[in-house]
Amino acid sequence: MGLTGRKPRPLNRTISHVRDTKLIIIATEGHKTEKQYFKIFENHRIQIVVIPSKDNRSAPEYILERLNGYSEEYQIGEEDELWLMVDTDRWGDKKLSEICQKAVKKNYYLAISNPCFEVWLYLHLGEIDNDLSTCREFKRLLRNTIGSYNSSRLNLEIFKNNITLAVDRAKRISPNDGSRWPVSVGTHVYKVAENIREFDAK
């Protein structure tokens, strides 16, 4: 999409950036975890805006609504990306399918985790055990692996040096086969990470 009108460009001007700064805008189901995690990718050529859920309105339709609102309020460039990031654990296939269809029509990207974002976090640390299927199990696995896990206070040092490993592992269990979300345990969050790193490498 081209730049239109006199809408403000939502750049964080308190940090160094160049004129061709790319924006990655991510509307998330989570309130704190995803916003903390994506601080790993802070870079002067890419600015990441995470729009977390609020007021307990975390259903996919509210996340899409927030992304739409952001897109209407701000100036979005041709290289900018808007992402819908949700989990499957609380929403049925019918609702997810409806929301994904609407998002794709808007040219938004999808980054869906089955069952939850913690799958992506754990992939920084190890391979996925096929016996795991619930978010509670993945949170317990994170606690057992790193000694503690608090979704409101992530230790980014644990994750930031293993992004390539996480991407590779996520691809193996959730190949880019055209599915809008992983049909079994997996995550498409790796697609966001990959796009960020590819642009940064240019």
> pLDDT tens for residues 26-64?
999 988 999 999 999 887 678 899 999 887 788 999 999
Instruction: Express each pLDDT in 73-99 by its tens digit.
Output: 988 988 899 999 999 988 888 999 999
pTM for the model: 0.90
2 pLDDT higher than 60: no
* Sign of the torsion angle spanned by Cα atoms 37, 43, 49, 55: positive
The conformation of residue 117, written as its DSSP 8-state character, comes to: T
Length of the chain: 202
Which DSSP letter does residue 147 get?
Answer: S
Answer yes or no: are the C-beta atoms of 163 and 40 closer than 8 Å. yes
Contacts of 112 (CB under 8 A, 6+ apart): 84, 85, 86, 87, 88, 96, 100, 180, 181, 182, 187, 188
What local confidence, expressed as pLDDT, does residue 90 receive? 87
**Quick one: DSSP state of residue 159?**
H
Share of the chain above pLDDT 90, in %: 65
d(CA 161, CA 188): 19
> Which of 157, 159, 158, 165 lies closest to 128, judged by CA?
165
Average pLDDT value for residue range 9-15: 68
Average pLDDT over residues 147-161: 93
